[in-house]
Structure 1
């Protein structure tokens, strides 16, 4: 079956979307390399004085409060303001939400700003919706299926797409739920794979804007791209160190046929 999200992969390479990344200091370089390898252009512009203006010219924006400072909180708020005013799609990655009050309050507050997409693990999504206490730091302690109700509530509240990452990914919109089977456990052993997936999601949303493809399919394509690259990289590596390098190579080389043959999707009915 030819799903529309296959077309999104080609759109990403054609348009080289500019992605403004307001992300945590631990993963900044890795995230930039992921975007470049996949076919996007990263910009780590997060100062309060520039964030709103940059969000207006970017094709997509990532909001990731992984290692926040007071200045970065202000920068993220300004980027959201600029993106909203310009209609730039933006992604909220609620890193470690639930366990720490300030980041939890911030993330829950910006949900009302209607992010185009939310991407997190099961515990983060559940806590963001107010249905759980979060995981163990950035690690999920809840199953993907247990986060389905939380994802549905957030999608209904924002009108956007909620992606729950795990052994299988759930992509949830107000009127659609898709399960994506791809990836490899080795992805959990390299810092930044989840955070950079949020940036890749912003890239796909930017590339697909105005194309006629749904937001849902754009988010699905981003997760399939990362998951399939993870599978290819795992086959080429001997451990986490070589996997990290192989993942960058695989993200660059993945094509539509790889995604067609190495990923499986299932639409939930009813």
Structure 2
């Protein structure tokens, strides 16, 4: 059974069809890529999976269970975490505090326990702080843990964004253009972290990325969207030679002459 199954999913905003009967599946433990031109519906798809948008029709199953009726926080509890294309951090707060916020759905001490700090709530905070410190070490941001996020470079803020998503201990991590706006060195670092998350933590990932070199190197399977429709699904090798993909996105003869990414 696939970890995630999207079946004939459609999403409309008035008379505009953002997604039209899109179907694909993501296997447990793989890096799955969503590609397509601007406006193809990629981010809309992630919004449907994470619960920010409610599809017009279709189904989404996670670990075999339908999730469309669940609010975003319940999907997070089930193991779906999200890093956004536009950084959504609390910039006046420190790196440590931002990543700690990602643990909120894992906190189980009740209101009464929280009233007595020297008890279950204290033990829980120690455990969550230990998990967050491990993420900080994993992402190599120990030296900036106490700095306000707003004072950091763009590349480091994107890394903190991924760290906050990892703090939810996800089964599936949704990454919306994690390398957008980065220089070459920052892109190499992020690609390395994505591979490490996949290999060392076994986290399944859905990646939206316009750098085709990164997509073809990192992903095991790819779905291609164009005007809200899925025009191709397969391995990187299959996608690179698909005539529809070449015409719609990669450009004629595999060049970069296609529509803007």
Range of TM-score over shorter length: 0.3 to 0.5
Higher relative contact order (CA 8 A, sep 6+): 2
The TM-score, its normalising length taken from structure 2, stands at: 0.33
Task: Give 1 or 2: higher strand fraction.
Answer: 2
TM-score by length of 1: 0.32
